[in-house]
Structure 1
Amino acid sequence: MMPSARFPDLADTSVLITGGGSGIGAALTEGFARQGSRVAFIDIAEAPSRALVERLSGATHRPLFLNADLTDIAALRSAMAEAAAAHGPITVLINNAAYDQRHDILEVTPDYWDGNQAINLRPQFFTAQAVAEGMIAAGKGSIINFTSTSFLINHPEMPSYTAAKAGIIGLTKGLAGRLGPHGVRVNAVAPGWVITDRQRELWATEERLAAHIAKQCIREEMHPDDMVGVCLFLASDASRMLTAQTLIVDGGYL
């Protein structure tokens, strides 16, 4: 269920979301479109992304889908330049894209490690680099980096992924220190187990999900829409003096 809160300062704001075509990213694309933002999103999957744009065609500003592989930094920079040309300088960046493929510590090769980091950590720096000049010139901006509670609960099945997600917090704090004097805020969001279609298809068995929810204070499934409100808040001037923080959204599991 989408949040009912309205943030007037987000209307007409240029927003860029990575991985915005499905899962949490699609919910974010819809959530910001409902606020009247000018949303561009980058995704590698064309079919669901185009379907999302069509579904949101009645929004004040039709979302702009940009097809790019985040591991290709030149393509990523080109897509972001296209978003800025279409919507104006990006003042809200949400680094949502990730790939939580399971992998065993004994089977990880150097190439696998590098490829995993190239999806889960490296793009978050280069997207921030791409928007930094425009945000500094504007004297404002909000960068929201998605990390995960997976490294906080000692998840055993994806060490490269959890290393990347821990690294995102360090990146967030370093960027916040560098960009804060220019009015740019940088924060991280750490979701718990959000039940996307992918999670339900691959890992969220009835038994595992029930056991997880039993450890939450709020004993309900978390869905992609539950990540929208916190990002709207962090993007808006309601959080004007909040930076270098990690907001854990996990129903109280931790």
Structure 2
Amino acid sequence: MKYATFHDLHGAHVFITGGGSGIGASITEGFLAAGARVSFVQRSDASAFCDEMQEKHGNKPHYMPCDITDIERLKACMDEGSRHFGAITVLVNNAANDTRHKTLDYSVEDWDWNHAVNLRPHFFTTQHVVPGMREAGGGAIVNFSSASYGMGNAGYPAYVAAKAAILGLTRTHAREFGPDGIRINALVPGWVLTDRQKELWATEEGLREHLDKQCLKEHLVPQDIVDATLFLASKASRMMTAQALVVDGGVVFTG
């Protein structure tokens, strides 16, 4: 199957959080295939993935180990990526942790850690990347949210709260930095069947029930999210900002 290509992304420097595994790895590969230069952070070792991308695309991403709860380290990695590939003109805030939990069992420390992973980095990566984007004449930021907030899902309340907050953050930052030519949108994926989802939560009954909720009777795969991310990063969406693009097969309705 052939997919859309976005030629204006060729040569752009894209910085991705969590770009070495799961959906993030697919996004990294999507940008590499488009000819972009990609730097990314990942908590686990992604060296073998980078070698694989070099062999497959002739375009090796620059990987830096980082726990995104450490904001100073995260900023340092962004600076390192800029030294390697030039100014960051596309930022993808992808990294997240959707480990299940219950309200009555959750401590203050648990809550703070959850938001340090699922919300706080979106603010501080934007803060750090804006000056370079201004100098470059603009840029695009894609903040990953989740359809779980629109569905009102139980089972991970702190995560759902963070993913809802990302939409507010996206809209206020889009207003603040729009005059600088910086577009900021939220991408809202549905249930994408990554290896992690299949191993931990995708039961036969759960999959069947979720598919019943979708208008399109086919499960989402990472490529569905890659295409939407590239669209939001490219000039194909040049007058689109402060928006939430839902890719979930038709479960959550906006408007």
* TM-score range relative to shorter protein: over 0.9
Deviations 1:148-173 (CA, angstroms, capped at 9, x unpaired): 01111111111110110011001100
Deviations 1:92-133 (CA, angstroms, capped at 9, x unpaired): 000000000111110111111001100000011111111100
Q: Which blocks of at least 5 consecutive residues in structure 1 are unaligned?
A: none
Q: Partner of 1:33 in structure 2?
A: 32
Q: 3-state DSSP class of the match of 2:213?
A: coil
Aligned counterpart, 2:42:
43
Which structure 2 residues correspond to residues 1-254 of structure 1 after superposition, within 5 A? 4-46=3-45, 49-58=46-55, 59-254=57-252
Kindly state the Cα deviation for residue 51 of structure 1 after the two structures are TM-superposed.
Answer: 2.1
1:44-99 CA-to-partner distances (Å, cap 9, x unmatched) read: 011xx222111111324311111101000111011110001001000000000000
Q: How far apart, in 2, do the equivalents of 1:123 and 1:6 lie? A: 29
> What TM-score comes out, normalization by structure 1 length?
0.97
Distance, in Å, in 2 between the alignment partners of 1:44 and 1:244 is 29
In the alignment, the residues of structure 1 paired with residue 19 and residue 246 of structure 2 have an alpha-carbon distance, to the nearest angstrom, of 21
In 2: Cα distance, 1:26 partner to 1:219 partner? 25
Alpha-carbon distance, 1:186 to partner? 0.1
Tell me the percent identity. Answer: 51
What are structure 2's unaligned runs of at least 5 residues? none
- Does the aligned pair in 2 maintain the 1:103–1:158 contact within 8 Å? yes
CA deviations on 1:9-65 (whole Å, 9 max, x unpaired) are 10010000101111110000000000000001110011xx22211111132431111
Return the offset for 1:221: 1.2
| Letter matched to residue 38 of structure 1 | R
Letter in 2 for 1:149: A
Structure 2 residue matching 1:222: 3-state secondary structure:
coil
Task: Give how far 1:7 is off.
Answer: 1.1
